[in-house]
Amino acid sequence: MEILKGEFALERENIRVDSNGYMVDTEHPKIFGSKNDNIYIKTDFAESQIELITPVFKSIEGAYNFMDNLQKIVSLNLDNEYLWVQSNPPILPLDENDITIAQYGDERTDYREYLAKKYGTRKSVLSGMHFNFSFQRSALKSLCKTLDHDKVLALYLKLNKYITKYNWLFVYLTGASPKFHESFKDKQGKPNRDTFFSCRNSEYGYKNLKDYILDYTSVENYTNSINKLIEQGEIAKASELYMPARLKEGYRICNGDSKVPYIELRFIDLNPLYPLGVNKNDLHLIHLMLVYFAMQDDFNFDEEMQRRAYHNRNQVALYGNVNILNDRNITVKVEEEALKLIRLVEKLGFVEGFYKDILQDAKHKLQDVTETYSYIIAAGVERKGFINYHMQKAKLYLDRAKRTEFTLKGYEHLQLSTQCLLGSIIKKGLNYRILDHAQNFIYVENNGHEEYIKEATRTSADSYSTVLVMENKHVTKFVLNKNDVKTPKGVAIESVGEGIEYYYDEVKGMPVVVKPNNTNFGVGINILNIGYSFEDYKMALETAFLEDSVVLVEEFITGKEYRFLVIGDNVEGVLHRRGANVIGDGESTIRELVAMKNDNPLRSTGYQAPFIEIQCGEFESEFLRKQGFSFGTVPRAKERIFLRGNSNVSTGGDALDFTDDVHDSFKQLAVKAAKSVNAKICGVDIIIGDISEPAGESNHAVIELNFNPAIDMHCFPTEGKKRSVGDKVLKLLFDKED
């Protein structure tokens, strides 16, 4: 259905609170950069009132998922603070002048001070959810038969009228601010009641001093009537008009280059029952209603009708399912009038399945007030207390964010490293676009500076030849040696026969690693420790030659392998990757221990989680056999059994952070190695005997440089401190502060 095609965005305000539910007085967190610059994370009225803004998406899911990501990123980056989940404020300072107004240092702060004086600071921190909607071009074509700008604006004005007229219904269905904290009361003791249906949408909420009557007879008249209010000094500007919907026109984030009209719906309370502050189905319901309204005839929204709309809305906001006045000024029950409308919507041809369920749910709420959000929340608050009830939710939603911190909603199909970088991009508020999902190719823009990034670490910072050098182990070694960086001794060979010849000459008895010249993910690599047989050696050669026509046979240096992630001039993370292993419990077989270790949300079979499940395949079986084990072996308690000789995470390994433990000389060495190939982003793999000792002649060797290092394992190691390396990549490319 073309007319269902819309563009959607969400804006949400949340007050930052401490763990006891007190509104905090801290500055807007620096980690999100400048409020001016960050296009997703800003402040609203108060300095401690964060505003989260999604770009425009062509589906409700898109906007909703992005809000999920914003919620996650902001929650996880607050320092012992929480996002307050309720539209009505948390515990406010005794003196409302102690609420710090958002500091911009320009006219935006002045305007907020004007609002504070006029409406009071307490009311100004009421928070809500805004839902921005426009039709896609094809939907507009269906509805208007033309894309004529005036016709389109007229359509949105019609929607505005319907939304305003029927706002009582939406307040009933989405109202979620029934209770408030004592500190919200003003000097006159208002609100002077203790339960609402939606306090925020009521006369005690954030509304204009008068119920202004506007001229809806044409777009021009409508604009003029608002301008008249401004001229008369009633309001300072159009945005001071606190109506349920607002007609807007403008560039929308990520929407491209043309200005489009859209409608902003402002009546939705923060819903504490849902992690994101809104039930996604409510957005679908509102969308459906908008489409329905768009299909209906226009009508004359005269003064009497506007007064009834103000009245009806306030009645529902105060009491819920009460009597309202219908178009003929006759008193009717909310339920009755609402069901009449819903039945008309149900008759639309495309309303079936999903939409039918949503309408059914609305009908339940209308028929039984105990099913409404407002009723459920009020009951909860009465049981647990206002602050306690909402803080429990806030903490629950923070835990939810933590459980999936390594992934972003809607981007699960992207590599985790790309998701990590996107997390940083969103945190820092940069404009971006996914250009090619399969290739993890993104476009990032900030103040006109554009970057194209593939797989998180393939960027403009590195030159093509730098990458080509790193792609070729043989050439890399040539360059490293030219720059006096110690690498393992070894040779490049071009046939199994040549390798065997070399074996007799040089390697016999020496521990060696046999690997294809060009490789990735450790495929085709074999490490042969002292005591290996000629057959082992030959098989290792054959395995490697399956992957490449050139194979390297290298001295195997004693020590552990560490991955140094160099970004710019610094080492931003040091990991040791431990090969696939399990630790015995004295009872379980190796096969059972593997299954237990794999049963962890951090491990998956693909790349959906930072770690990969350990396999019980032929390779692992062979590796166990050489140690005298099988999958049926029962290791002793605390005994660590390795299933792989290589330490790649991609074959089931662990990653442990050692960034703060490594001797600084090794970090310098890693930077030197990266600089020798002129790399700005580089994974330097170094074998080190003892990381606490300074780098010397014989205690290390650089074994590989990686031009496309994964960053997710630094962000989310199996053990040790998490490193926000995505931020560092952005700093390198955009010269952004951490």
Which of these ranges, 138-146, 173-181, 432-440, 504-512, lies near a copy of itself under the rule CB under 8 A? 432-440
Measured from the CB atom, the residue of 615 and 678 that comes closer to a copy of itself is 678
SS3 state at 289 = helix
Instruction: Show contacts with a copy of itself in window 543-562 (CB under 8 A).
Output: 549-550
CB 252 within 8 A of CB 273: no
CB 365 within 8 A of CB 282: no
Measured CA to CA in angstroms, residue 666 lies from 267, 438, 671 at distances of 58, 36, 9
Closest to 153 (Cα-Cα) out of 247, 47, 57, 24: 247
Closest to 237 (Cα-Cα) out of 115, 126, 133: 115
User: Closest separation between CB of residue 463 and a copy of itself, Å?
Assistant: 4
Distance CA 503, CA 650 (A): 30
CB 682 within 8 A of CB 674: yes
Measured from the CB atom, the residue of 119 and 432 that comes closer to a copy of itself is 432
Measured from the CB atom, the residue of 26 and 472 that comes closer to a copy of itself is 472
DSSP secondary structure code for residue 22 in this structure: B
Measured from the CB atom, the residue of 34 and 439 that comes closer to a copy of itself is 439
Measured from the CB atom, the residue of 539 and 550 that comes closer to a copy of itself is 550
Measured from the CB atom, the residue of 436 and 639 that comes closer to a copy of itself is 436
User: Closest separation between CB of residue 443 and a copy of itself, Å?
Assistant: 7
Measured from the CB atom, the residue of 415 and 466 that comes closer to a copy of itself is 466
Measured from the CB atom, the residue of 415 and 718 that comes closer to a copy of itself is 415
Task: Name the residue with tokens 């005997």.
Answer: 689
Three state DSSP letters for 376-414: HHHHHHHHHCHHHHHHHHHHHHHHHHHHCCCCCCCCCCC
Closest to 454 (Cα-Cα) out of 467, 471, 470, 437: 437
Which of these ranges, 96-104, 431-439, 554-562, 645-653, lies near a copy of itself under the rule CB under 8 A? 431-439
Map residues 447-486 to x or -, x wherever contact with a copy of itself holds by CB under 8 A: ----xxxx---xxxxxxxxxxxx--x-xx--xx-------
Q: Give, rounded to a whole angstrom, the gap between the first and last alpha carbons of the chain.
A: 46
User: Closest separation between CB of residue 488 and a copy of itself, Å?
Assistant: 18
Measured from the CB atom, the residue of 405 and 445 that comes closer to a copy of itself is 445
User: Closest separation between CB of residue 429 and a copy of itself, Å?
Assistant: 21
Distance CA 686, CA 85 (A): 47
Contacting a copy of itself (CB under 8 A), which of 79, 189, 353, 438?
438
Measured from the CB atom, the residue of 146 and 465 that comes closer to a copy of itself is 465
**Residue 164 CB: number of other CB atoms within 10 A?**
20
Size of the site for a copy of itself (CB under 8 A): 31
Measured from the CB atom, the residue of 513 and 679 that comes closer to a copy of itself is 679
- φ/ψ of 579, rounded to 5, equals -55, 160
User: Closest separation between CB of residue 545 and a copy of itself, Å?
Assistant: 14
Map residues 666-705 to x or -, x wherever contact with a copy of itself holds by CB under 8 A: ------------x---------------------------
Per-residue buried b or exposed e for 265-289, using 16+ beta carbons within 10 Å of the residue's own CB: bbbbbbbbebbbbbbbbbbbbbbbb
User: Closest separation between CB of residue 453 and a copy of itself, Å?
Assistant: 7
Contacting a copy of itself (CB under 8 A), which of 666, 707, 714, 731?
707
Measured from the CB atom, the residue of 237 and 259 that comes closer to a copy of itself is 259
User: Closest separation between CB of residue 475 and a copy of itself, Å?
Assistant: 5
CB 10 within 8 A of CB 262: no
Instruction: Show contacts with a copy of itself in window 23-62 (CB under 8 A).
Output: none
- 4 touching a copy of itself, by CB under 8 A: no
Closest to 281 (Cα-Cα) out of 144, 216, 373: 373
Contacting a copy of itself (CB under 8 A), which of 109, 404, 439, 650?
439
User: Closest separation between CB of residue 265 and a copy of itself, Å?
Assistant: 32
Instruction: Show contacts with a copy of itself in window 108-127 (CB under 8 A).
Output: none
Contacting a copy of itself (CB under 8 A), which of 441, 619, 631, 734?
441
User: Closest separation between CB of residue 460 and a copy of itself, Å?
Assistant: 4
Half-sphere exposure of 627 (CA within 13 A, CB side): 17
DSSP string, 297-327: PP----HHHHHHHHHHHHHHHHHSS-EEE-T
CB 494 within 8 A of CB 549: yes
Contacting a copy of itself (CB under 8 A), which of 295, 435, 596, 602?
435
Measured from the CB atom, the residue of 25 and 471 that comes closer to a copy of itself is 471
Which of these ranges, 225-233, 438-446, 507-515, 579-587, lies near a copy of itself under the rule CB under 8 A? 438-446
User: Closest separation between CB of residue 723 and a copy of itself, Å?
Assistant: 23
User: Closest separation between CB of residue 515 and a copy of itself, Å?
Assistant: 16
Measured from the CB atom, the residue of 148 and 450 that comes closer to a copy of itself is 450
User: Closest separation between CB of residue 452 and a copy of itself, Å?
Assistant: 4
CA 402 from chain centre, in angstroms, equals 12
Measured from the CB atom, the residue of 344 and 435 that comes closer to a copy of itself is 435
User: Closest separation between CB of residue 458 and a copy of itself, Å?
Assistant: 6
- φ/ψ of 244, rounded to 5, equals -65, -30
Map residues 251-270 to x or -, x wherever contact with a copy of itself holds by CB under 8 A: --------------------
Distance CA 40, CA 38 (A): 6
614: its two tokens: 């350990």
Measured from the CB atom, the residue of 94 and 438 that comes closer to a copy of itself is 438
Measured from the CB atom, the residue of 490 and 584 that comes closer to a copy of itself is 490
Q: Are strands 245-250 and 41-43 parallel, antiparallel or unpaired?
A: unpaired
Distance CA 689, CA 699 (A): 5
Measured from the CB atom, the residue of 451 and 685 that comes closer to a copy of itself is 451
Contacting a copy of itself (CB under 8 A), which of 319, 443, 619, 734?
443
Half-sphere exposure of 497 (CA within 13 A, CB side): 0
SS3 state at 154 = helix
Instruction: Show contacts with a copy of itself in window 133-192 (CB under 8 A).
Output: none
464: its two tokens: 């093509």
SS3 state at 692 = coil
Distance CA 282, CA 429 (A): 27
User: Closest separation between CB of residue 350 and a copy of itself, Å?
Assistant: 20
Task: Name the β-bridge partners of 582.
Answer: 641
User: Closest separation between CB of residue 551 and a copy of itself, Å?
Assistant: 13
Which of these ranges, 436-444, 531-539, 616-624, 642-650, lies near a copy of itself under the rule CB under 8 A? 436-444
Name residues whose C-beta falls within 8 Å of residue 220's C-beta, 6 or more positions apart in sequence: none
Distance CA 342, CA 340 (A): 6
Q: Is 220 exposed, middle or buried (0-12, 13-18, 19+ CB in 10 A)?
A: exposed
Which residues are near a copy of itself by CB under 8 A? Answer: 435-436, 438-439, 441, 443, 451-454, 458-469, 472, 474-475, 478-479, 549-550, 678, 707
